[in-house]
Amino acid sequence: MNYFTGFYPSVRVDAAGDGVVSLAGGVILTEMVKSSGIAAGLSEALSPWRKPFAIHNPGKILIDLALSLATGGDFVSDIDRLRNQPEVYGHVASDPTISRLLKVLSTVKPAKVLAGINTARAAARAHVWAQAGEDSPLHGVSTENRLFRIQSVIRAAA
């Protein structure tokens, strides 16, 4: 049986001055994680490597590591900064749990792990661009037009 710790709690904003968040940019990133679908994608992609009674979701552990780096961390141990703000980042895995996951993912079929992560990233990116509509950087871009331009550049260079 797997227990799901969830990904990130909803943050309530008020002017009371209590519970100040020191890594406010991280709140925006957690909202992006929730709305982009990357959380669900990574959970699914990494589910083969989740232990039967594991409390921590491998997808959340990797996202927490990325959030730690994005908010200024330099080392795996810098994830402590997220652990100290459970109201924003939820339950964050311990350093030994993170180390065990990284060891498993890097030694057991790493190509399959990377393929799963890349698939989850691509699906999240496509979802975000679809939600952006006309504001998407891909809006109005034709693959055929790009190929034609590339061929033209190659011919001109020859």
Distances (CA, A) of 61 to 117, 118, 134, 139: 13, 16, 33, 33
Pick from 34, 89, 97, 37: which is nearest to 64 by CA? 89
Q: Which residue has the tokens 């904003």?
A: 13
Pick from 69, 64, 81: which is nearest to 30 by CA? 64
Which stretches within the chain are classed as H helix? 24-36, 38-46, 58-70, 80-83, 86-89, 95-107, 110-132, 143-157
The string of pLDDT tens digits covering residues 20-59 is 666 678 888 888 898 899 999 999 999 999 988 988 999 9
The sign of the torsion formed by the CA atoms of 69, 75, 83, 56 equals positive
Residue 158, burial from CB neighbour count under 10 angstroms (0-12, 13-18, 19+): exposed
Q: pLDDT at position 103, please?
A: 94
Q: pLDDT at position 64, please?
A: 95
Q: pLDDT at position 1, please?
A: 37
Q: Where are the domains of the chain?
A: 24-157
> For 140, which DSSP code?
T
pLDDT tens across the length of the chain (158 residues): 344 445 877 776 667 766 666 667 888 888 889 889 999 999 999 999 998 898 899 999 999 999 999 988 999 999 999 998 888 898 999 999 999 999 999 998 889 999 999 999 999 988 988 887 877 776 665 555 555 566 666 777 76
> For 84, which DSSP code?
T
Q: pLDDT at position 112, please?
A: 93
Q: Which residue has the tokens 């030994």?
A: 96
